[in-house]
Amino acid sequence: MKLITTSDGSHSVYSDKFNADYHSKHGAIQESQHVFIISGLQYFFQSSPLSSIGVRGEAETLRIFEMGFGTGLNAFLTFLEMQDKNVNVEYTAVEQYPLKEEIYSSLNYTELLDAENNKSNFLEMHECEWNVFCNISTKFTIRKVNTQLQMLNHDYNYHLVFFDAFAYTAQPELWTEEIFKQLYNTMEQGGTLVTYSAKGQVRRNLQAAGFQVERIIGPPGKREMLRAIKPLSLQA
């Protein structure tokens, strides 16, 4: 693995094993902000059937699952976005190939996001113990699971799923109807799944798993992406 710089100045990582980049060459931060924060997290609070979370007085819990912890960028952006929300976040991510310290400690996300005061939080996400929930702040806990997605024992119902596996051509086994059905069964009704992919077969596999799927505007350099909703009922 090696560090690379994308078009918006933010770092990504190139994996020789998968011949693939962790983030878009058009901009790592731009892509993650658009796909997972704006189209996923912000959409959830604005438009999801479950959008009332956190507006009923005492803090409630938002459960997020990420396929591919990778550089930790999606988790860190979520952490920053939720700082002023009356919501506790439980963030679970599966990652089979953790980055080495020489890579993750060199990532420039805190600098570009004007979040140098939170650099210790970002590093702790990478350095905290695996397979258990770790407190990154009073309102944000993360559990990284070092295994294959197919082997993961899901013991929570998630409100949000960030599907950020390597591209279909690199990991076709992770974009199947069976995988999406597994995730569908672990999500709350009304829950939201977002992915940067807009591939036709991925859309069909999501639909076959039970999701209501829409193509929406993609991040810079990509025309479209997919957002999928688990219906509130089987008849929805």
Predicted local distance difference test score (pLDDT) of residue 71: 98
Rounded distance between C-alpha atoms, residue 87 and residue 213, angstroms: 27
Domain that holds residue 91: 28-229
What angle (nearest 5°) sits at the alpha carbon of residue 128, between those of residues 83 and 112?
50
4-21 pLDDT tens trace: 999 999 999 999 999 999
Residue 173 falls inside a structural domain: yes
Q: What is the pTM of this model?
A: 0.94
Residue 5 falls inside a structural domain: no
Predicted local distance difference test score (pLDDT) of residue 88: 93
Which residue in the block uniquely carries the two structure tokens 């979040």?
Answer: 115
**CA-only gyration radius of the chain, Å:** 17
Residue 152 falls inside a structural domain: yes
Residue 14 falls inside a structural domain: no
171-208 pLDDT tens trace: 999 999 999 999 999 999 999 999 999 999 999 999 99
- The one-character DSSP state at 196 is S
Residue 79 falls inside a structural domain: yes
Residue 234 falls inside a structural domain: no
Calculate mean pLDDT across residues 42-65.
77
Rounded distance between C-alpha atoms, residue 35 and residue 151, angstroms: 26
* Number of folded domains that form the chain: 1
Predicted local distance difference test score (pLDDT) of residue 150: 86
What average pLDDT is seen over the chain?
93
Rounded distance between C-alpha atoms, residue 219 and residue 32, angstroms: 8
Residue 87 falls inside a structural domain: yes
Residue 178 falls inside a structural domain: yes
Predicted local distance difference test score (pLDDT) of residue 14: 96
132-142 pLDDT tens trace: 999 999 999 99
Give the domain CATH number at 66.
Answer: 3.40.50.150
Predicted local distance difference test score (pLDDT) of residue 48: 74
Confidence band, pLDDT 50/70/90 cuts, at residue 234? low
Confidence band, pLDDT 50/70/90 cuts, at residue 3? very high
